[in-house]
Chain A
Amino acid sequence: MALLSVNGLKVDFTTRNGVTHAVDDVSFSVEKGEITAIIGESGSGKSVACYSLLGLLPMPPASIEGGSAEFEGRDLLRMSEAELRQVRGRDIAMIFQDPMTCLNPYMTIGNQLVEPLLCHRRISREEARQRAIELLDEVGLRDPQTTIDQYPHQFSGGMRQRVMIAMALINEPKLLIADEPTTALDVTIQAQILRLLADLQKRRDVGVIFISHDLAVVADIADSIVVMEQGRVVERGDRQAIFERAEHPYTRKLLAAIPGGSKAPSASTGEDLVQVRNLCTWFSQGKHHESVKAVDDVSFGIRRGEILGLVGESGSGKSTIGRSLLRLVPVTSGEVLFDGVDVTALEGKALKQMRRRMQMIFQDPYASLNPRMTVFDTLAEPLLLHGIESRKSVEQGVLKLMDDVGLARAFIRKYPHEFSGGQRQRIAIGRALATRPEFVIADEPVSALDVTIQAQILELMLALGQEYGLTMLFVSHDLAVVRHIADRIIVLYKGRIVEEGLAEQLFEHPKEDYTRQLLESIPGRQLL
């Protein structure tokens, strides 16, 4: 018998704009000791379905309209709040997406770890603490005796997710619900966390529901896969069936969205548009500390019309290089030649002129757009500031940009919050292209997006690169994405260049261990 079997689950959201069927007649089951993956884009109802099982949805606006969820012979949906609370954290535990916000910043991780134990079992504080230390050790935290008394902000994202996993497992639950547990992490850290989860799951024989927007992530670990679209299950099957014989067009779309292969080399001419020589960007940490060498003696060139990929983990200095080129952070030493002119020496008007020719696209399309400016305001600002359009012609210019980045003209008076992540990134790209730049720095432009949207944005960037004749520096932690878009790739580690080469060459014949490690971290690489 299945550990959990959900039948005909229906969840509605009642809002001012009417009723939305967030989850519509969804059925799936989880076997003991197996991993069931639920895959779908943002808004497909996959998280809502799982939260509703544990009564974690705010009601109202949510309401469970029907269905059943049998867990060990009892229906979760018909339990009282008190009964359900006994199940939560003891029999069914959860891991959430963003480890940065899911731990209480005001409590030590030790105090947070022992809570589920103290709440559900008769156990002394001392025993609970001992148990927590053992578990921290098991999930791979160094020196758990001391780290247990630290606060969440003292840990990196990957480490926090390990803490979350330890917290979920501390009561030896029978079922673990992991909601996008690796989406907010770098590819290398993601690979580690996935390995850890799969490992712990086998050792402890727990059932797992793994929620993700990315089929590639679950390619190595899922036993069975449920694909959801707009609140409904469109396809289900074991892993092999989904990856080899997917029938539903939506599943195929998800599969196609997994970045793979590389593009045809672009027609880049010989001369370098950008030359970086011995660039150093150090951040001072006060008098008593050594400076952080974010970028340490880095030299490279970018040819006109070329897309150069810059790959590395968080903290490798890849974003700092991008910002240094634009002079958004002060450069410690070295030269950045743009079209023969040293950008690091420019001031005032000359710098403004130069910035018009170099633009940046940021990672987070939610944070980088001003929430109080409409699409028109956002796009018109650079056009007017740099005198590209006059007041009279600016509307035409904005509409042209919207056409180019694939935004419907009707959206012109809308505000950022009215758009999805992908649409916002289109606005951000439009803003960057407004000044007709020759050189664009894209800093993780697709990392915050679902895979399907990611694929669309990458296509858009490639097409626009051709149309506008752009030279591009594409910064990302994800080698698969970079391979898809870049002509040449630079691998960065701790502020220094580890390896450099043509995209395909680097993929097929990596020279350095670190590059190999990055390649191995790509989820579902056997699919490529």
Chain B
Amino acid sequence: MWKFIASRLLQAVPVILAVITVTFFLVRIAPGGPFDSEKAVIPEVKAALEAQYRLDQPLFQQYLAYLGDLAQGELGPSFKYPGRSVNELIAAGLPATAELGLYALLVAVCIGGVAGVLASLKPNTAQDYIPMSLAMIGICMPTFLLGPLLVLLFGIQLEWLPVSGWGEMPGDKLLPSLTLGAAYAAYVARLSRAGMLEVLSQDYIRTARAKGLPEWQVITRHALRGGLMPVVTFLGPAFAGLLAGSFVVETIFQIPGLGRFYVQAAFNRDYTMILGTTVFLSTLIVLFNLASDVLAAWLNPRLRSQFGEA
């Protein structure tokens, strides 16, 4: 087991290095720089600024210096928030984003899982078509449309929930979580439906029925574990995707999370901030993918015993 994890982590190193390299040079190719502004800056000031942030050095040297800092866990100073490091900024934004991501994942698994399982029990009936059509809509609907629609309905028309904010009023975390989780709920619904249909056609389900077990026990004891396996492998990438993709929702609902820093950094040409967030998020994606693979293997007795021997 540990061998497997170690080898996967080693494989991740070149992936992340490639991400860093591509991002580093891409942002430099983009026109404009962090200290360009509409007002003309005195050349001496600009030169001093560039010297302070190592921008006067040749590009390749900057790249090596960045890698050196990174190896020590240092993401560098932000260009736009003087005196604050990228590490600090990420640490400030992460809690809200992580919390939002977690709730959204919960929404996705609960709503999606239940819908998918229900659909699989009566395939090609209304019980199947209705949740699956909703899932299709959920996948197609972008968050920047769904968010405002939900705000319009629950915030403005019905006045049940606050329209924005995070942790300021009771219930203000509900709409953002729903908005962000909806698309993933749809994926989870489709995955769990397919997984359950596959498992329900297996011979051992017939064996379970032949034992005289009530249908709900056949489902919960025999079918769910195998049927939800695809969902488990999807959880890792989904959570990483939720974190990385939360910036639209954070913008709509005025949430002080990582996503907003990320988008602002791109507009501001805040090189270190863009790089830092990218490196941080890609590391998370690698780690969560690994975690869900390990979990899926652990849940499968056959793979678990192989790991035990390795």
Contact B222 A107 (CB under 8 A): yes
Known contacts: A101-B204, A102-B204. The answer to whether A89 contacts B212 by CB under 8 A is yes
B177-191: contact bitstring with A at CB < 8 Å (1 yes, 0 no)?
000000000000000
CB of A517 within 8 A of chain B? Answer: no
Contact A119 B211 (CB under 8 A): yes
CB distance from A123 to the nearest CB of B (A): 14
CB of B301 within 8 A of chain A? Answer: yes
CB of B264 within 8 A of chain A? Answer: no
Contact B301 A103 (CB under 8 A): no
For B225, the chain A residues whose CB sits under 8 A away are 106
Known contacts: A88-B209, A89-B212, A115-B213. The answer to whether A102 contacts B305 by CB under 8 A is no
CB distance from B307 to the nearest CB of A (A): 13
CB of B57 within 8 A of chain A? Answer: no
What residue of chain A has the Cβ atom nearest to residue B211's Cβ?
A89
Q: How far is the CA of A56 from the CA of B205 in the complex (A)?
A: 10
CB of A39 within 8 A of chain B? Answer: no
Contact A103 B208 (CB under 8 A): no
Q: How far is the CA of A186 from the CA of B211 in the complex (A)?
A: 27
Known contacts: A119-B217, A154-B305. The answer to whether A102 contacts B206 by CB under 8 A is yes
For A120, the chain B residues whose CB sits under 8 A away are 212
Q: How far is the CA of A119 from the CA of B216 in the complex (A)?
A: 12
CB of B170 within 8 A of chain A? Answer: no
CB of A104 within 8 A of chain B? Answer: yes
Contact B210 A115 (CB under 8 A): no
Q: How far is the CA of A236 from the CA of B202 in the complex (A)?
A: 33
Q: How far is the CA of A120 from the CA of B301 in the complex (A)?
A: 28
Known contacts: A101-B204, A102-B203, A107-B222. The answer to whether A115 contacts B211 by CB under 8 A is yes
A338-351: contact bitstring with B at CB < 8 Å (1 yes, 0 no)?
00000000000000
Query: Which of A322-374 touch B at CB < 8 Å?
Result: none
Total residue contacts A-B, CB cutoff 8 A:
77
Query: Which of A109-128 touch B at CB < 8 Å?
Result: 115-116, 119-120
CB distance from B102 to the nearest CB of A (A): 27
Contact B210 A88 (CB under 8 A): yes
Tally chain A residues at the interface, Cβ within 8 Å: 29
Query: Which of A56-101 touch B at CB < 8 Å?
Result: 56, 85-90, 93-94, 96, 98, 101
Contact A56 B206 (CB under 8 A): yes
Contact A101 B210 (CB under 8 A): no
Q: How far is the CA of A154 from the CA of B309 in the complex (A)?
A: 13
CB of A283 within 8 A of chain B? Answer: no
Contact of A104 among B212, B222, B300 (CB under 8 A): B222
A152-175: contact bitstring with B at CB < 8 Å (1 yes, 0 no)?
011000000000100100000000
CB distance from A457 to the nearest CB of B (A): 26
Query: Which of B211-254 touch A at CB < 8 Å?
Result: 211-214, 217, 221-222, 225-226
For A106, the chain B residues whose CB sits under 8 A away are 225-226, 299-301
CB distance from A57 to the nearest CB of B (A): 10
Contact B203 A96 (CB under 8 A): yes
CB distance from A494 to the nearest CB of B (A): 23
For A49, the chain B residues whose CB sits under 8 A away are none
For B39, the chain A residues whose CB sits under 8 A away are none
What residue of chain A has the Cβ atom nearest to residue B207's Cβ?
A102
For B310, the chain A residues whose CB sits under 8 A away are 286
Contact B217 A96 (CB under 8 A): no
Contact of A105 among B208, B212, B221, B302 (CB under 8 A): B302
A1-25: contact bitstring with B at CB < 8 Å (1 yes, 0 no)?
0000000000000000000000000
Contact A119 B212 (CB under 8 A): yes
CB of A440 within 8 A of chain B? Answer: no
For B208, the chain A residues whose CB sits under 8 A away are 104, 115
Contact A105 B226 (CB under 8 A): yes
For B213, the chain A residues whose CB sits under 8 A away are 85, 89, 115, 119
For B217, the chain A residues whose CB sits under 8 A away are 119
For B206, the chain A residues whose CB sits under 8 A away are 56, 96, 102
For B300, the chain A residues whose CB sits under 8 A away are 105-106
A contact set with B: CB distance below 8 Å = 54, 56, 85-90, 93-94, 96, 98, 101-107, 115-116, 119-120, 151, 153-154, 164, 167, 286
Which 10 residue pairs of A and B lie closest in terms of their CB atoms, listed nearest first? A89-B212, A88-B212, A89-B211, A151-B301, A101-B203, A94-B210, A104-B204, A116-B211, A102-B203, A106-B225
Instruction: Given A89-B212, A167-B207, output 20 extra A-B contacts at Cβ < 8 Å.
Output: A54-B210, A85-B213, A88-B211, A89-B210, A94-B207, A94-B210, A96-B207, A102-B204, A102-B207, A104-B222, A104-B226, A105-B204, A105-B226, A106-B225, A106-B299, A106-B301, A107-B221, A115-B208, A115-B213, A151-B301
